[in-house]
């Protein structure tokens, strides 16, 4: 019996010695650096760390308008996300919402990126200039604007909304020459977009959500035909430029200077939740 207890005693002794060694190292470190440690304002340091974390996960203006809290966004961020250096996918010019000052104009920025890919000099501001628009989501008569017909809100402000495919198609066709046309291919699966367009060098504008987070219920209002419209909180528009076994890759207006990859299954779900809206440019 005593022989069987020997390994257990040796194990316990080893643990005690390890803990003692760690404590001794801590004492030696403190003894050598006690003056620096004593000068640290730990309350201030903890506050700085807390603020840095909040800034890291703070929601963008589109999520603030939608009523998202920072903690909601952090739990909604996709686990599988990566970035890719320019040139590995379809080489669509990269433009960010930040650099053009359009806080809530992802559709305008996405449209401009694809227009520039096809040789126009159109900017996001040019797209906004010609797109059918309503500065407010409610008209004077109490009825609301329809994002399937117009771009809603001021893209430079935090209270902007955006639009769906048709208004953007309208604007892009006004800026394209007669050789090219923006075409609505909504309803096409992502697998079909990959095979039929990406592999042939054709970028695709699609609608998903910001950071591929779970969509929420935004504000509701009545349209002129009496039907009620439900805005999808977190709605986002971006340019699909490539794919591999694990990710779909995008020129995302929320990111400057890099192609962003989101996990395939997440993209497929968000694309479906936003109605499988998609636009290409073709002859």
- State pLDDT tens for residues 211-228: 999 999 999 999 989 999
CB contact at 8 A, 205 and 111: yes
pLDDT at residue 32 greater than cutoff 70? no
- Tens digit of pLDDT for each residue in 159-216? 889 999 999 999 999 999 989 999 999 999 999 999 999 999 999 999 999 999 999 9
Q: Which of 65, 92, 57, 55 is nearest to 242 (CA)?
A: 92
- For residue 142, what pLDDT band results from cuts at 50, 70 and 90? confident
Beta strands in 159-212 (DSSP E): 181-184, 204-209
CB 55: neighbour CB atoms within 10 A?
9
> Is residue 50 over pLDDT 80?
no
Q: What is the pLDDT of residue 164?
A: 98
How many CB atoms lie under 10 A from the CB of residue 82? Answer: 13
Q: What is the pLDDT of residue 21?
A: 65
User: Cα dist. 49→46, 71, 74, 142 in Å?
Assistant: 5, 16, 16, 46
> Rounded CA gap, 235 and 217, in Å?
10
At 7, the pLDDT band (50, 70, 90 cuts) reads: low
The 10 Å Cβ neighbour count of residue 75 is 11
Closest CA to 255 of 106, 80, 56, 63: 106
Please report the pLDDT score of residue 26 as a whole number: 60
Q: Which two tokens stand for residue 268?
A: 């497929």
**DSSP count for the chain of H helices, then E strands:** 10, 11
Q: What is the pLDDT of residues 246-270, one digit of tens each?
A: 999 999 999 998 999 999 999 999 9
What are the start-end ranges of the E strands in the chain? Answer: 81-84, 133-134, 151-152, 181-184, 204-209, 216-222, 228-233, 235-243, 247-251, 259-263, 278-282
Q: What are the φ and ψ backbone dihedral angles of 184, each rounded to 5 degrees?
A: -80, 115
The answer to whether the pTM exceeds 0.85 is no
Are 79 and 263 a contacting pair, CB within 8 Å?
yes
**Other residues' Cβ atoms within 10 Å of the Cβ of residue 223:** 14
Distances (CA, A) of 248 to 153, 260, 261: 30, 8, 5
Write the CB contacts of 130 (distance below 8 Å, at least 6 apart in sequence): 170, 171, 174, 175
């Amino acid at each position: 019996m005593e022989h069987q207890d020997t390994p257990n005693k040796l194990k316990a002794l080893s643990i005690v010695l390890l803990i003692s060694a760690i404590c001794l190292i801590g004492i030696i470190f403190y003894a050598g650096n006690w003056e620096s440690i004593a000068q640290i304002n730990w309350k201030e340091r903890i506050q700085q760390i807390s603020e840095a974390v909040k800034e890291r996960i703070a929601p963008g203006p589109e999520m603030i308008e939608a009523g998202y809290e920072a903690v909601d966004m952090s739990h909604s961020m996709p686990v599988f996300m990566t970035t890719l250096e320019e040139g590995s996918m379809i080489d669509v010019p990269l433009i960010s919402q930040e650099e053009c000052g359009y806080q809530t104009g992802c559709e305008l920025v996405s449209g401009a990126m694809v227009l520039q890919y096809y040789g126009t000099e159109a900017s996001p501001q040019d797209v906004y200039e010609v797109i059918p628009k309503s500065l407010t989501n409610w008209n004077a008569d109490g009825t609301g604007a329809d994002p399937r017909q117009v771009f809603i809100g001021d893209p430079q402000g935090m209270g902007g909304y955006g639009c769906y495919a048709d208004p953007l198609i309208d604007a892009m066709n006004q800026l394209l020459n007669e050789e090219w046309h923006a075409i609505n291919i909504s309803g096409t699966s992502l697998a079909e977009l990959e095979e039929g367009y990406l592999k042939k060098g054709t970028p695709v504008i699609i609608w998903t959500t910001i950071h591929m987070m779970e969509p929420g219920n935004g504000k509701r209002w009545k349209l002129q035909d009496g039907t009620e419209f439900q805005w999808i909180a977190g709605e986002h528009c971006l340019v699909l430029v490539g794919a591999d076994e694990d990710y779909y890759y995008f020129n995302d207006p929320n990111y400057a200077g890099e192609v962003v990859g989101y996990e395939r299954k997440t993209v497929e779900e968000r694309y479906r939740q936003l109605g499988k809206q998609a636009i290409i440019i073709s002859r």
